Amino acid sequence: MNPIQIINLLNVPRIGPHRVKKILAHLNQDQNPFETSINNLRAIKGIDAKAAEQISSYRDLDFGTRELAQAQNQGISVVTYWDDDYPLLLKKIYDAPVLLYIKGEPLKEKEDCVAVVGTRRFTPYGKSATQTIAKDLASRNIAVVSGLARGIDTIAHKTAV
């Protein structure tokens, strides 16, 4: 799937990963969702008139190109839900992200990983403990998985990277 079109779709109000999957499953691979008629978009289960109108009227079609170039300039690769190197375990969750931005080496399926989650409003001890744990995990080649939520999640991610 074309990551630029996916980035653009995700930039449309009311369109999230679940709807992107529905749209792209309905269209042919060479079909551009932004050039599809409102009626064809509305024929997709889960796409209402408002969402179809917003897709049809979306005009910042260069956004995806700019976003992808910016990621590549920073050494970040973009993996789509349909790519072979998309993590299989992640595909199994409901509403799995349709795009992953990966800095560094992608996680191997059999590689050990630990998810670090916590409060957004942390204490000094919480910050220190998170940094110690994330640093220790990274030094043992254990991947730290984080959703980058504000707080402990971000501290764990930044420390591990």
CA 4/CA 9 separation, integer angstroms: 9
Q: Is the pLDDT of residue 148 over 80?
A: no
| pLDDT confidence bin for 160, thresholds 50/70/90 | confident
CA 67/CA 72 separation, integer angstroms: 9
Give me the pLDDT at residue 110, please: 61
Q: Where are the alpha helices (DSSP H) in 27-116?
A: 38-42, 49-57, 63-73, 88-91
CA 6/CA 24 separation, integer angstroms: 9
Give domain limits for the chain: 1-105, 113-160
Q: Looking at per-residue confidence, does 138 or 149 come out higher?
A: 138
**β partners of residue 77:** 102
Give me the pLDDT at residue 48, please: 95
What's the predicted TM-score (pTM) here? 0.71
Residue identified by tokens 């499953």 is: 25
